[in-house]
Amino acid sequence: MSDENKSCSVPSTGEPVAMQSTTPMWIIVTTLILLFIGGVYFDRHSGWFDVKVYSPYSSAENLEAYQPKSSEGAFIARGKKTYEAVCGTCHGPDGLGKPDQAPPLAGSEWVTSKGINRLIHIPLVGIAGPISVAGKDWNMNMAAMGAALPDEDLAAVLSYIRSSWGNKASSIESDDIKKVRATIGVGAQPVTVEALMKLPE
């Protein structure tokens, strides 16, 4: 025992005591640098815990940038889908109409007209009474089939019928629908052709 004590470089002077010493500066600096790097990495990659942002997207803006743009094709495809659900039963999936049910849309001057105000009126308020379509006379009623559709869907449907089955007319945007809808009062009755012709084109 006494030999071991002698080998110590510092002679022991009683019980060891824990003393206070300052934290080395380099540890503080390194910790701060690591915290900073971690913070920057977190900011760039975490998406800030947004519930919609999954890896590999780094932020809500990054996810937004990768949303598919609503292309003309997608808009028309949407119109086709709505058409087949709402209009196709009577006007036919081919737009040729059905005898004693609905006049054709393909080649119809009402559909492909340059002004779109009257065309938009028809699905919004319905139409009643005699009407001449593509040289043939029809006499029947159509309810306001489009009144309950969102502007965007109705615009897509009308754009679809104006650009399908040989029809080649311009697209209609949801703002156009909104404008026409604003001019129509609540509970409007189906228009007749005479009333329709009095409206601006």
Partner 1 sequence: MKTGVCVFLAAFVSLGASWCGFVLAPVLQLGGAKQTVILQTTDNWPLQRTGDATLGLQVYRANGCAACHTEQVRQTGMANEVTLTGLGIRKPEDFSAFAKSLFVLPELASYTNAIAASLNGWNGALPKTLFITGDNDLASAMADRLKAAGVKSETRLVATGADIARGWGLRQSVAADYLYDQPVQLGSLRAGPDLANIGVRVPDANLQMNHLYAPKSVAPNSTMPSFKFLFEVRQKINGAASPDALNLPKEFAAADGFEIVPKPEAKQLAAYLLSLKANVPLYEAPFTPAK
**Which residues contact partner 1 (rule: CB under 8 A)?**
49, 51-54, 56-57, 63, 65-68, 70-71, 73-74, 77-78, 81, 150, 153
Whether the CB-CB separation of 159 and 167 falls below 8 Å is answered with no
Q: What's the min distance (Å) between Cβ of 87 and partner 1?
A: 16
Task: Name the residue nearer to partner 1 (CB basis): 153 or 176.
Answer: 153
Task: Name the residue nearer to partner 1 (CB basis): 40 or 77.
Answer: 77
Q: What's the min distance (Å) between Cβ of 51 and partner 1?
A: 5
Other Cβ atoms closer than 10 A to 106? 18
What token pair was written down for 111?
A: 């559909």
What token pair was written down for 183?
A: 């001019």
Spatial distance between the Cα atoms of 88 and 91, rounded to a whole number of angstroms: 5
Task: Name the residue nearer to partner 1 (CB basis): 20 or 71.
Answer: 71
């815990």: which residue's tokens?
Answer: 49
Whether the CB-CB separation of 41 and 58 falls below 8 Å is answered with no
Q: What's the min distance (Å) between Cβ of 63 and partner 1?
A: 7
Q: What's the min distance (Å) between Cβ of 55 and partner 1?
A: 8
